[in-house]
Amino acid sequence: MPASPKRRVPKYRRQKSKTGPDRAFVEIDSRRHYLGEYGSPDSRVKYAELVGKPRPQSFERITVNDVLVAFFDYAGEYYRDRTGELSVEYTHYRLAGGWLRRAAGSTAAADFGPKRLKSIRASMIKAGWTRKYINGQMQRIRNIFRHTVSEELIPTSVHDALNTVTGLRAGKSAAKESTRRQPVPIEDVAPGTLLTIAEPDAADWNHDGQVNSLDLSTRNASHGMASAAHTDGDRDRDGDVDGGDFLNWQRQYFAEPVTPTVAVPEPVGRNMIAAGLGFLLLTTNRRSLA
């Protein structure tokens, strides 16, 4: 006897409003049922009753994985750029959420405290991420819990406790610092070297004359790297590979042409060219007089 087809559970959906709070709804048999304000506990309960799902869990049973699901339901709509694509900030949140899930996914959210957050931070330091980026990721993890508190899924005390973890200060931790690379002194350049001028902000990290997916792969492989070079994906040359470099690549990939590398002649070469042009002009004038 063939197995019966698996029942598809209707999704908890969102109707945006320009005049008030967004509304939650679910469609069952082509009929729309409104549930109340989107994301509210009451709307979740009504949704569970209509589709036959278990009622939402109590504070004690909400895990960190549940926190992440609730946050990214919201973030997937909120963190979008003008074209409707997911923004760079959303990517940063995904990375932060990945660390949180691996470290404490099955932990009760109410039990996730400052020590667990510091443990994640220590792992980021060990991975070689820069202090500035680690501080940013710590704030994003706190924001994930703050959103869940605002939806009344976990107690306020969880977020309040995480706020007691202060950011890493320069020179006070083992985290690497972002270092800006300095230009080579002109006196160190060997005589006869062909100098080139390249667009300093070009996202063409593999120097093939194009900004494309190969450059993005270079940047992704070096994400979080400290003391990074331009060829590692450090487009803004601030010494590390972070979201700012990705945003710059994205803008140039969709809108900005790459400025090609331009060879600059040596001073001797410029003098020879000028002399040649002068001789040509003198010859032309003599012929015209003749």
Most confident of 40-44, 212-216, 239-243, 277-281: 40-44
Q: Are residues 63 and 98 in the same domain?
A: yes
Which tens digit of pLDDT belongs to each residue from 61-97? Answer: 789 999 999 899 899 989 988 888 888 899 999 999 9
Q: How far is CA 18 from CA 15, 40, 183, in A?
A: 10, 18, 52
| SS3 state of residue 35 | strand
φ/ψ (deg, to 5) at 207 = 55, 45
Q: Would you say residue 225 lies in a domain?
A: yes
Q: Are residues 84 and 163 in the same domain?
A: yes
Of the listed ranges 93-97, 123-127, 219-223, 265-269, the one predicted with least confidence? 265-269
* Domain containing residue 67: CATH number: 1.10.150.130
User: Domain limits at 15?
Assistant: 7-56
Q: Are residues 95 and 51 in the same domain?
A: no
Other CB atoms within a 10 A radius of the CB of residue 99 amount to: 18
Of the listed ranges 64-73, 114-123, 227-236, the one predicted with least confidence? 227-236
Q: Would you say residue 2 lies in a domain?
A: no
pLDDT at 235 over 80: no
> Could you tell me the pLDDT band of residue 264, with boundaries at 50, 70 and 90?
very low
Of 145, 177, 209, which residue constitutes the final position of a domain?
177
**Residue 261 tokens, joined:** 């590398």
Of 282 and 152, the structure prediction assigns the larger pLDDT to: 152
Residue 195 β-bridge partners: 264
Q: Are residues 103 and 89 in the same domain?
A: yes
**Residue 278 tokens, joined:** 């002068």
Q: Would you say residue 65 lies in a domain?
A: yes
Which tens digit of pLDDT belongs to each residue from 169-180? Answer: 988 899 988 766
Total domains in the chain come to 3
What is the predicted pLDDT for the residue at 162?
95
Q: Are residues 173 and 273 in the same domain?
A: no
Q: Are residues 162 and 74 in the same domain?
A: yes
What is the predicted pLDDT for the residue at 283?
55
Q: Are residues 92 and 156 in the same domain?
A: yes
H/E stretch holding 31 reads strand 31-37
| SS3 state of residue 148 | helix
Residue 37 β-bridge partners: 23
Q: Would you say residue 17 lies in a domain?
A: yes
Q: Would you say residue 230 lies in a domain?
A: yes
Q: Would you say residue 87 lies in a domain?
A: yes
Q: Are residues 71 and 31 in the same domain?
A: no
235: Cβ–Cβ under 8 A, 6 or more apart, which residues? 201, 202, 203, 205, 219, 244, 245, 248, 249
What is the predicted pLDDT for the residue at 181?
57
Q: SS3 sequence, 212-239?
A: CHHHHHHHHHCCCCECCCHHHCCCCCCC
| SS3 state of residue 27 | strand
| CA within 13 Å, CB half, 236 | 14
Q: Are residues 105 and 161 in the same domain?
A: yes
| SS3 state of residue 24 | strand
Which tens digit of pLDDT belongs to each residue from 119-139? Answer: 999 999 998 889 999 999 999
What is the predicted pLDDT for the residue at 239?
64
Q: Would you say residue 111 lies in a domain?
A: yes
pLDDT at 43 over 90: no
Q: Are residues 72 and 99 in the same domain?
A: yes
Q: Would you say residue 250 lies in a domain?
A: yes
Of the listed ranges 17-21, 133-137, 138-142, 203-207, the one predicted with least confidence? 203-207
Other CB atoms within a 10 A radius of the CB of residue 90 amount to: 16
pLDDT mean across residues, the chain: 75
CA-atom Rg of the chain in angstroms: 29
Q: Are residues 238 and 265 in the same domain?
A: yes
Burial (0-12, 13-18, 19+ Cβ within 10 Å), 28: exposed
Q: Are residues 35 and 95 in the same domain?
A: no
